[in-house]
């Protein structure tokens, strides 16, 4: 699955909100008793076996990618720290002033997301990141993150 930040904005806020919601849902399942998990599975419309697996492992049984709004190495590292297992980056690379350098830096930051020194080092000399957009300024019908449920 992928978290839904607002693609093409360089604004990480919505991706962070969605990742926190997903991780919060996982944590909620982890603390429930088995009897409560049965009721929660019904409420979610999810198979009990799946809910129990998430309860036991503390993670989804699929890779959780972060996408939308990631524009810098620090953004990518943040999403990994919040629980993403990978990131998709498009506009954040191609709308930067040096796409090849930005791509390389984001890969390194994603790989070494727990090492602030590496994240700081790969963030040096990249030039300008893509300009960030205020999501509130985008008309509702043009938002991508609200599509697909």
pLDDT tens per residue, range 62-94: 999 998 888 899 999 999 999 999 999 888 888
Distance, in Å, from the CA atom of 121 to the CA atom of 98, rounded to the nearest integer, reads 16
Mean pLDDT computed over 107-135: 88
Return all residues near 146 (Cβ < 8 A) that are at least 6 apart: 140
For the segment 23-50, the average pLDDT, to the nearest whole number, is: 96
Helix (H, G, I), strand (E, B) or coil at 88: strand
Q: What is the domain partition of the chain in residue ranges?
A: 13-20+61-137
Query: In the prediction, which pLDDT does 109 show?
Result: 98
* 147 in Cβ contact with 2 (< 8 Å): no
Query: Could you tell me what percentage of the chain is helix, strand and coil, using 3-state DSSP and rounding each to the nearest 5?
Result: 55, 5, 40
Task: Return the pLDDT at 20.
Answer: 95
For residue 110, pLDDT beyond 60: yes
Cα separation, 14 vs 133, whole angstroms: 12
Q: How many other C-beta atoms can be found within 10 angstroms of the C-beta atom of residue 31?
A: 8
Confidence of residue 144 (pLDDT cuts 50, 70, 90): low
Residue environment code for 121-147, b if the CB has 16+ CB neighbours within 10 A, otherwise e: ebbeebeebbeeeeeeebeeeeeebee
**Whole-number mean pLDDT of the chain?**
87
pTM beyond 0.85: the answer is no
135-to-25, 89, 128 alpha-carbon distances in Å:
25, 18, 20
């Amino acid at each position: 699955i992928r978290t839904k930040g607002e693609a093409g904005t360089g604004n990480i806020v919505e991706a962070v909100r969605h990742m926190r919601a997903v991780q919060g849902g996982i944590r909620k399942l982890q603390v429930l008793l088995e009897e409560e998990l049965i009721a929660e599975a019904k409420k979610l419309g999810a198979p009990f076996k799946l809910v129990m697996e998430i309860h036991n492992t503390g993670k989804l049984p699929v890779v959780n990618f972060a996408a939308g709004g990631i524009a810098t190495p620090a953004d990518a590292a943040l999403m990994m720290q919040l629980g993403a297992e990978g990131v998709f980056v498009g506009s954040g690379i191609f709308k930067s002033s040096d796409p090849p350098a930005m791509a390389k830096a984001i890969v390194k930051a994603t790989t070494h997301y727990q090492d602030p020194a590496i994240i700081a080092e790969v963030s040096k000399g990249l030039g300008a990141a893509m300009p960030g957009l205020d999501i509130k300024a985008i008309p509702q019908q043009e938002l991508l993150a609200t599509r697909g449920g």
